[in-house]
Amino acid sequence: VLMLLVFYGGTIGVNALLEMAGSEATLDLNPFFAGVFTLGFIYGAYMTETFRGAIMAIPRGQFEAAAAFGMGPRQAFLRITAPQMVRYALPGFTNNWLVLIKSTALVSLIGLQEMTYLAKQASAATRSPFAYLLFAGGLFLIFTWVSLAVLRKLNARYSLGTKRIAF
């Protein structure tokens, strides 16, 4: 819904402002810009909350120990906070990243030609919907699989030395 509001409402709003300013020019909002802005705004908020929660999970004593060793805020963040934060943030980041990959298909609603849009166009032209839609689904699966493999390796790397709880 926000993507539709940004794309259509943004164009109407900017043109209304230009008209009030006395300009004869009109502006058409680029679908790519509207899609990137909307997805960036929404998932930027999710990612920010993920990293905020990861920083809050680090015990307060870690910050106090860094200050006791004479580290400044920047050095304490780079040496103490960031390595521990990554371990806490990676599971949430992985989830948000995978949902973001799948959400990119929504930009076809505002007319941007992305994978699912092109697959629908090709299937309508050839009357063979399964081949193209399965290909687009396969590409999404490949992107998801590669991302998940990389993020699992990072998670394993940053979780060295921690105990795993079996469920």
Domain boundaries, the chain: 2-158
Q: Look-up: residue for tokens 């998940």?
A: 148
What HEC string does the chain produce?
CHHHHHHHHHHHHHHHHHHHCCCCCCCCCCHHHHHHHHHHHHHHHHHHHHHHHHHHHCCHHHHHHHHHCCCCHHHHHHHHHHHHHHHHHHHHHHHHHHHHHHHHHHHHHHCCCCHHHHHHHHHHHHCCHHHHHHHHHHHHHHHHHHHHHHHHHHHHHHCCCCCCCCC
CATH of 2-158, one of 3.40.50.300, 1.20.200.10, 1.10.3720.10, 2.102.10.10: 1.10.3720.10
> Residue 130: its pLDDT value, please?
84
CB 66 within 8 A of CB 76: yes
Structure tokens at 130: 């399964």
Stretches where the chain sits below pLDDT 70 are 164-167
The tokens for 140 are 């999404």
What does the alpha-carbon distance between residue 89 and residue 84 come to, in Å, rounded to a whole number? 9
* pTM score: 0.75
pLDDT value of position 165: 63
Q: What pLDDT was estimated at residue 79?
A: 93
State residue 142 phi and psi, 5-degree precision.
-65, -45
| pLDDT at residue number 166 | 58
